[in-house]
C-alpha cells in the first residue's frame, strides 16, 4: 500500500462517511451507541489480551479480499469463519468492514457478533466519530485507529470517544518510530505494529522487532501482517508481544479452525518462563 493508495482510500472513506451522515437515522447513532455501551462489558479486548493464559493470543481476521492479494475467499460467510476461529482458539476476531477495497461491510461485523462470544474488532479506516458509534451499535468491542490516516488532534479525539466515552478498546496501528511516539502521546493502551510497509507494500517482521524496543513496558503490543509460522510467533512473543493479528494466512487455509489451533499449539510449545519473557537476557515482558 503506497502513500498515494492510502490517500485514495481515505478520499473514498470520506465520501462513505458523508453518505452515513446523510442518512436520516445518523443523528441517533451516538445516542444509541451510548445506550448500548451502558450495559455492555467494558474493554473486553484489553481484558482478553491481558489474560494470564499461557496460550498464544491470536486476533483472527475475517476479510474477503485485499488490494495486494485480491480475493482471498468468496465461498465462506463471515459467520462460518467466525465459528471456525472461535473453535480454533482465537482470543478475538477482527472484521474488515471497508467495502471499496476489502469487500467488507458492517453487516459482516453484525453476522460475526451474532455467532460468537469473543471480542470483536472493527477494522476499517476510521476517520470520524460516527464510524465508532456505528461500530458500537453493531456490538463491536474495539476499533482500529491508523496513525498514518489521522492527525494528532483527531487521533486523540477518536481514542477518547472509543475508550473513555464508550468503554471500547482502540487498537492504535503504527508503522514507523514516529507513528509509535504519536500513538504513545495520544494515550494508546493497545498498539499494533503493522509489518507491511506503506510505501512498498512489502512485509518485514523486522518492523515489529525494531519498534517494540521503543515501546513503553505498560503497553499491550500486537504484531500484525506477515505472520505465517510458529517460529516467527515464538520469536516475537519472546520480545514482548502480547498478541498477533493474522488474516490472510487463516483465510487461505482449507480448514481455518485446524490451521489456527495447530499454529497456537506449535507456537505455545516453549518453556513457560520464556513465554512470559522472564529470562536472564532482560527481554521485555
CATH of the domain at 64: 3.20.20.70
On whether residue 277 sits in a domain, the answer given is: no
CA distance 147 to 183: 7
What are the counts of helices (DSSP H) followed by strands (DSSP E) for the chain? 13, 10
Domain ranges, residue 220? 3-268
Predicted local distance difference test score (pLDDT) of residue 1: 43
Catalytically annotated residue among 13, 63, 189, 219: 63
Catalytically annotated residue among 13, 57, 61, 223: 61
134 is catalytic: no
**In contact, 217 and 252? CB cutoff 8 Å:** no
Catalytically annotated residue among 66, 84, 94, 194: 194
On whether residue 97 sits in a domain, the answer given is: yes
Q: How far is CA 166 from CA 114, 134, 140, 180, in A?
A: 21, 12, 11, 24
The closest of 57, 64, 91 to 233, measured between CA atoms, is 57
* Model confidence pLDDT, tens digit, residues 171-184: 999 999 999 999 99
Predicted local distance difference test score (pLDDT) of residue 55: 85
On whether residue 274 sits in a domain, the answer given is: no
* Model confidence pLDDT, tens digit, residues 136-187: 999 999 999 999 999 999 999 999 999 999 999 999 999 999 999 999 999 9
In this structure, what are the phi and psi dihedrals at residue 110, rounded to the nearest 5 degrees? -60, -40
225 is catalytic: yes
The closest of 95, 49, 97 to 244, measured between CA atoms, is 49
On whether residue 283 sits in a domain, the answer given is: no
Predicted local distance difference test score (pLDDT) of residue 3: 46
Predicted local distance difference test score (pLDDT) of residue 26: 85
53 is catalytic: no
On whether residue 55 sits in a domain, the answer given is: yes
On whether residue 144 sits in a domain, the answer given is: yes
Q: What is the CA radius of gyration of the chain?
A: 18
- β-pair partners for 196: 203
The closest of 26, 251, 278 to 128, measured between CA atoms, is 26
Q: How many domains does the chain have?
A: 1
CA distance 262 to 225: 19
CA distance 154 to 109: 24
8-state DSSP, 165: I
On whether residue 216 sits in a domain, the answer given is: yes
On whether residue 57 sits in a domain, the answer given is: yes
**In contact, 75 and 43? CB cutoff 8 Å:** no
Catalytically annotated residue among 86, 134, 173, 248: 173
Beta-carbon contacts of residue 245 (< 8 Å; ≥ 6 apart): 58, 59, 61, 94, 171, 192, 222, 223, 224, 225, 227
206 is catalytic: no
173 is catalytic: yes
Positive or negative: CA dihedral 197, 248, 61, 78: positive
**In contact, 260 and 85? CB cutoff 8 Å:** yes
Residues of the chain with pLDDT under 70: 1-4, 67-70, 72-73, 75, 198-201, 270-285
Predicted local distance difference test score (pLDDT) of residue 271: 40
Alpha helices in 42-105 (DSSP H): 44-50, 78-88
C-alpha cell at 112: 460475526
Catalytically annotated residue among 66, 195, 208, 225: 225
Predicted local distance difference test score (pLDDT) of residue 199: 58
Amino acid at each position: 500500500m503506497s502513500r498515494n493508495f492510502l490517500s485514495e482510500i481515505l478520499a473514498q472513506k470520506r465520501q462513505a462517511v458523508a453518505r452515513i451522515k446523510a442518512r436520516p437515522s445518523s443523528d441517533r447513532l451516538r445516542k444509541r451507541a451510548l445506550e448500548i455501551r451502558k450495559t455492555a462489558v467494558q474493554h473486553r479486548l484489553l481484558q482478553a489480551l491481558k489474560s494470564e493464559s499461557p496460550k498464544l493470543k491470536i486476533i483472527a481476521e475475517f476479510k474477503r479480499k485485499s488490494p495486494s492479494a485480491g480475493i482471498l475467499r468468496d465461498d465462506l460467510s463471515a459467520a462460518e469463519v467466525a465459528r471456525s476461529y472461535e473453535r480454533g482458539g482465537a482470543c478475538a476476531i477482527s472484521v474488515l468492514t471497508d467495502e471499496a477495497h476489502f469487500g467488507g461491510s458492517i453487516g459482516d461485523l453484525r453476522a460475526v457478533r451474532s455467532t460468537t462470544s469473543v471480542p470483536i474488532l472493527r477494522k476499517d479506516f476510521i476517520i470520524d466519530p460516527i464510524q465508532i458509534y456505528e461500530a458500537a451499535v453493531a456490538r463491536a468491542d474495539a476499533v482500529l485507529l491508523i496513525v498514518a490516516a489521522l492527525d494528532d488532534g483527531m487521533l486523540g479525539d477518536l481514542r477518547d470517544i472509543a475508550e473513555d466515552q464508550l468503554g471500547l478498546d482502540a487498537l492504535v496501528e503504527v508503522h514507523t518510530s514516529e507513528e509509535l511516539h504519536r500513538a504513545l502521546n495520544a494515550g494508546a493502551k493497545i498498539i499494533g505494529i503493522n509489518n507491511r510497509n506503506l510505501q512498498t507494500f512489502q512485509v518485514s517482521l523486522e518492523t515489529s522487532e525494531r519498534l517494540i524496543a521503543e515501546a513503553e513496558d505498560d503497553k499491550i503490543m500486537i504484531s500484525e501482517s506477515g505472520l505465517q509460522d510458529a517460529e516467527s510467533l515464538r520469536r516475537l512473543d519472546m520480545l514482548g508481544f502480547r498478541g498477533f493479528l493474522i488474516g490472510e494466512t487463516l483465510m487461505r487455509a482449507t480448514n481455518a479452525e485446524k490451521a489456527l489451533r495447530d499454529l497456537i499449539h506449535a507456537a505455545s510449545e516453549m518453556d513457560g518462563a520464556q513465554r512470559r519473557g522472564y529470562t536472564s537476557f532482560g527481554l521485555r515482558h
